[in-house]
Amino acid sequence: MIHFNYENDFSLSNEGRLSTWLISVISAENCSISEINYIFCDDDYLHKLNVEFLEHDTLTDVIGFDYSVGKQLEGDIFISTERVADNAKDLEVSFNDELCRVMVHGLLHFCGYKDKTSEEAKEMRAKEDSYLKALV
């Protein structure tokens, strides 16, 4: 089950559609879902988590806490809608496109994908692009 939670004044208008899409990504990656919580928040909220849990004193758009066991996915994905908006502007893409990219990015980490090296990042971006095309 996928849950959407809001710690700021943001809310999704298409939760059902996005949930169906994210579940299809999980299935395509040969994983199953236990419970995934998306928590939408502001920069301050996510920055505090970044400092407290990851010891990174920087702003970020997404942080995932993965409690998965094998291919049974479970975890919390925190997304700063402020950071997504700024990134969308910088990348000259729509807010919704960037938001969906960040949502699937967090989920792909739970599926086992990494993005620390340039090769890993390239593979992650290709997966994101592929799944974003399926959403349209």
Binding site for Zn(2+), by residue number, is 105, 109, 115
30 Rama class: left (phi>0) / alpha (psi -120 to 50) / beta? left
The count of other CB atoms within 10 Å of the CB of residue 47 is 19
Work out the end-to-end distance of the chain between its first and last CA atoms, rounded to an integer number of angstroms: 22
**Residue 96 CB-half CA count within 13 A:** 8
Amino acid at 44: D
Residues of each annotated binding site: 105, 109, 115
Amino acid at 59: L
Amino acid at 9: D
